[in-house]
Structure 1
């Protein structure tokens, strides 16, 4: 039985209707087969050049210092620069609503004025000075943007009540399903709201020279709004947009980066919930095979939401915390550090009250510094298409040891993690990774010959960096 290619079969059927000769069909088929295949990248936006090997840090201004101000935080910039931080994400800086406020100080995410600065944090001049100082030091600064909802006493409530969603009896209401009683939800079917929100975001880029936004609950806002706003912002300067969401669709024309909630969940499941490695392996497989090659994923062991509502990194990852930090910094993605993590902060910060971080020297700062220095200089760990794809290294203990390689141009990094509470001796099928390596933290040398046996203590990890000739 002769099996024709689908396209040829379609052309053959069409020939019966259009009197196309067999010779013409064959010639058309040859032309199709001879045409080079040029795949089109799913991600259509252009990332800012500086983001290709960047790291990110979430700044909780209120809790960062006893003063809780932009000026006080500014003194920490040299330390963060030395640790290897590139992008400073500042939690919302706008005035906070008073009506239905939570706690004494309220939630940053109940915005009263999209064009104003929360006086508790400082003045507009103070904020501009922080942006300028970050830029002078070679860092970039984005601010949190709350587009889905506002406080009950935002001026828009009285000026444009039609811009808000309503309950069936026509009253303002909080965002359904969540306990966000201090805010009310916008209706993005209103063209005027879309224009207002776009103009407000343009204002901050144009007037303060910030480098972009972290967009709160981005999936609650229509994608076409974000896509249009991105194009408008890029006319002012190349911006960086981070979505608090996990969806490949947001990467196409709007966002540089989305959250990798899934990686956090998978690591948490293995380290403290006693689950096997299958879910984590599945995440990595999906990341390689189904996620846009040039989409950035933000990887983390903590952020303000996890810290406020789900415990600390210590409770969420237990004795596997260091291994999880290393894993999150070497898989495909951009690693995040939350305020205080580098100081080993082991408590949840109060969300609506003053609760200053206690700063101290801690080994985590050294771990982050080593990892981020490597990320800056080794192309294997760069972001999106600029970095190396994760290639699984098979081993004989797949339910204990996670092993993979990343390679780009002449750079190669191998991550080996005993992601279990038991010691293990493992044999790596490292035939394609032969060579001399230096371990990132111990600086010991390793020679991989292709069928290598290594021993690990519980939760021990190695990051092997290939030596160059």
Structure 2
């Protein structure tokens, strides 16, 4: 016996009677749960196989968080031989468990055999054994079916020797019989697959529109035109406009006391002038740390009043959770072990060569982890107890991933509704590692994807990793003013917003985007001139709107379109359509629950009119090749009649008029919806 052979008992434990492979969704070998939200269409697939030619089928077994068990028949896939699929829609938040059971399907084996033999011209005498065997199978199926009338009738006809052979066989192979057997299958050699988990969060973890604003910039100006520091009262007043635009979540950068030691001046200078407010990410001063308010904004009671107003408007408040400290943060004196102390006795400030952040001390998670973890958890729960249920986490990829896994799990033990967004513009292993560790959402590299090829690859990747990561597509941030916005004018702002709002159910806008703010601090830089990170930036949104210099109406329309089209609220299905113009991108999304289908066509050139013939991939939107259908543009209200043929349909987009079409397509027939939900899986092979 070869020394490297595995023991026979080990082999027998690894290989089951029927094969069940490539079960999806599955994360890191089933050691971590896949992601979903309440109401999301979740496709499940597996490769099932057996020896020989007998039919094999499968059942999806689901166990809800409350313990209810459900069995869902799985269908054979069209696009991938030997694969089966099913979809389910979780209606309950919490940890779901599922497995795929494979089983020998004697009824399907019998049906296949007799149909082929009859088609080959075999006689009744030659099929005598098949008929007898079929009668036995029907008897067994009848015994386990609550309402077996259809099966009893088929068996009786099968045994009626006075009928012609074809008539005897036909009922036993009919669609009616197959429908009953799908619900109450006759199963042999049942083989249970491995158990996997899906963590189902509240719907806002997937479907949400974010708006970022600095509370301190909401104070307007005084009679001399000088900026006035905002308060929680002025912030509450600013929320009305945000709610009217249809946003769901308002995100505030840090609202804590700002350090005075090494405070940064305007445009990130090292020599601040009197009155400079500093960077809110330099957290902590004599007024307190991460569990305190910037005194210029107001106290806890004023904050809670603002929160009450947000709730009345249907807005959720997200706070920045930035684990770093200013030199005068209370931690620097009380807990120097939380930081890296240099040989000269000073605490190391943050650096990202050649950049230096003299106003920030990064935390060291290895010096005193037990005490540091406990303090961070205490601080976070202070805000949760005040009613904050969403946090945008600053630079989580610079902290240990096991810390995040611990913290998020501990918070969810008592508060499962809390959502964590990872601000992690980093390499994919880190981004997806944070998602697997528990982050509900993640920033992405969308801002830097501008060409048709880049956006197509990016859009397909979003679907590939949907079981792991939910992308929040911010069009800009206080740190990122992409060159396309600096150079493209208002049309660039409109087209980028269209892409972000329709490629993902999650998107975000940083305040000032609607005013087309586009001046960088220097040529080639992505930093804003007079960045709001270092100074107050009051804006007169109303005046801009009155003179027609605002994107606000279009942002409002985009959010309305997203809310009224379920296809734009799902992440797991997208199809790019062919148009022979690299300046126009076209893609569709379909919701397998409602049948809603949307086709988005965007002119990627903000400077010139682009046109072309768009060829629809008909099956991907539930249409038949060659079918004529109506499309309704949700942007302009116009309607057109198109045909799903090789010639295509003419589109023309002039940036000064309209950068995009968002077409509502005919509703997908019920019989075709499930196939569209799983077809996407067969097109991509990313296995996180």
TM tier relative to shorter chain:
0.7 to 0.9
**How far is the alpha carbon of 1:160 from its aligned partner?**
1.1
Q: What CA distance in whole angstroms lies between the structure 2 residues aligned with 1:300 and 1:35?
A: 37
TM-aligned CA distance change 1:331 to 1:317, over 3 Å: farther
- Partner of 2:310: helix, strand, or coil? helix
3-state DSSP of counterpart to 2:392 = strand
Q: Provide the residue aligned with 1:445 in structure 2.
A: 639
Matched, 1:158 2:333: yes
Q: Please, which moves more after superposition, 219-228 or 110-119?
A: 219-228
Corresponding residue to 1:85 among 228, 239, 247: 247
Is the 1:302–1:312 Cα contact (8 Å) retained in structure 2?
no
SS at match of 2:243: helix
Q: Mapping of 1:282-297 within 5 angstroms?
A: 282-289=457-464, 291-293=465-467, 295-297=469-471
Q: Provide closer, same or farther for how the CA distance between residues 404 and 119 of structure 1 changes in structure 2, counting only shifts above 3 A.
A: same
1-structure distance, mates of 2:9, 2:277: 78
Q: Deviation per CA, 1:353-388: give whole Å up to 9, x if none.
A: 233122231551111111111222322111xxx445
Are 1:217 and 2:395 matched, yes or no?
A: yes
The answer (yes or no) to whether the contact 1:430–1:448 under 8 Å persists in 2 is no
The 10-residue stretch of structure 1 (101-110 or 368-377) with the greater mean CA deviation from structure 2: 368-377
- Please identify the structure whose Cα radius of gyration is greater: 2
Q: Confirm whether residue 202 of structure 1 aligns to residue 402 of structure 2.
A: no
Under a length normalisation based on structure 1, what TM-score does the superposition of the two structures give? 0.85
Alignment of 1:49-68 (within 5 A): 49-66=203-220, 67=228, 68=230
CA contact (8 A) 2:473 2:507 kept: yes
1 or 2 for the larger relative contact order (CA 8 Å, sep ≥6)? 1
How far apart are 1:229 and its partner, in Å?
1.4
The answer on 1:243 being equivalent to 2:427 is no
**2:183: which partner in 1?**
none
Task: Indicate how the Cα distance of structure 1 residues 42 and 323 shifts in structure 2: closer, same or farther if over 3 A, else same.
Answer: same
* Matches of 2:209 and 2:389, distance apart in 1: 14
Q: Secondary structure at the match of 1:242?
A: strand
Q: Distance in 2 between matches of 1:464 and 1:388?
A: 19
| CA distance 1:28–1:301, shift in 2 (3 Å) | closer
Residue 529 of structure 2 corresponds to residue 355 of structure 1: no
Residue equivalent to 1:455: 651
The answer to whether 1:366 aligns with 2:559 is: no
Q: C-alpha root-mean-square deviation of aligned residues, in Å?
A: 2.8
Aligned-residue offset at 1:422 = 4.2
Distance 1:370 1:303 in 2: 21
- Alignment check: 8 A CA contact 1:263 1:283 kept: yes
Hey, what's the Cα distance between the residues in 2 that align with 1:28 and 1:145?
45
Name 1:185's counterpart in structure 2: 362
Contact kept? 1:405, 1:412, Cα under 8 Å: yes
TM-score by length of 2: 0.59
Q: Structure 2: which 5+ runs fail to align?
A: 27-32, 36-197, 221-227, 266-275, 426-430, 520-527, 624-628, 669-688
In terms of fraction of residues, the more strand-rich structure is: 2
2:404 aligned residue (200, 219, 226): 226
- Between 417-426 and 113-122, the greater mean CA deviation after superposition: 417-426
The alpha-carbon distance between structure 1 residues 352 and 35, as it changes in their structure 2 partners (threshold 3 A), is closer
Equivalent of 1:425 in 598, 611, 623: 611
Match of 2:300 in 1: 124
Is residue 615–residue 649 contact of structure 2 (8 Å, CA) maintained in 1? Answer: no
Does structure 1 retain, via aligned residues, the 8 Å contact 2:611–2:652? Answer: yes
**Equivalents in 1 of 2:468, 2:244: separation in Å?**
28
Deviations 1:78-136 (A, max 9, x none): 32222111111111110011111112111100111111100111111111111122122
- Separation (CA, whole Å) in 1 of partners of 2:322 and 2:280: 9
Partner SS state of residue 208, structure 2: coil
For residue 303 of structure 1, the aligned residue among 471, 477, 487 is: 477
- State the distance in 1 between where 2:361 and 2:301 align: 30
Q: Distance in 1 between matches of 2:377 and 2:347?
A: 23
Of the candidates 45, 48, 55, which is equivalent to residue 202 of structure 2?
Answer: 48
Bigger shift: 402-411 or 228-237?
228-237
Secondary structure in structure 1 of the residue aligned to 2:504: coil
Pick one of 19, 42, 50 that aligns with 1:33. Answer: 19
Structure 1: where are the runs of 5+ without partners?
Answer: 1-9, 271-276
Matches of 2:21 and 2:572, distance apart in 1: 28
**Residues 389-444 of structure 1: CA distance to partner in whole angstroms, max 9, x if unpaired?**
111112222x2211110101211111111213443332222141453221111100
Paired with 2:300 and 2:233, the residues of 1 have a C-alpha distance of 11
- 1:110 alignment counterpart: 282
Quick one: distance in 1 between partners of 2:376 and 2:457? 38
Give the alignment partner of residue 340 of structure 1, picking from 498, 512, 515: 512
Q: 1:36 to 1:359 in 2, by over 3 A?
A: closer
Equivalent in the alignment of 1:3: none
Secondary structure in 2 matching 1:120 = coil
Q: Distance in 1 between matches of 2:534 and 2:561?
A: 37
Partner of 1:273: none
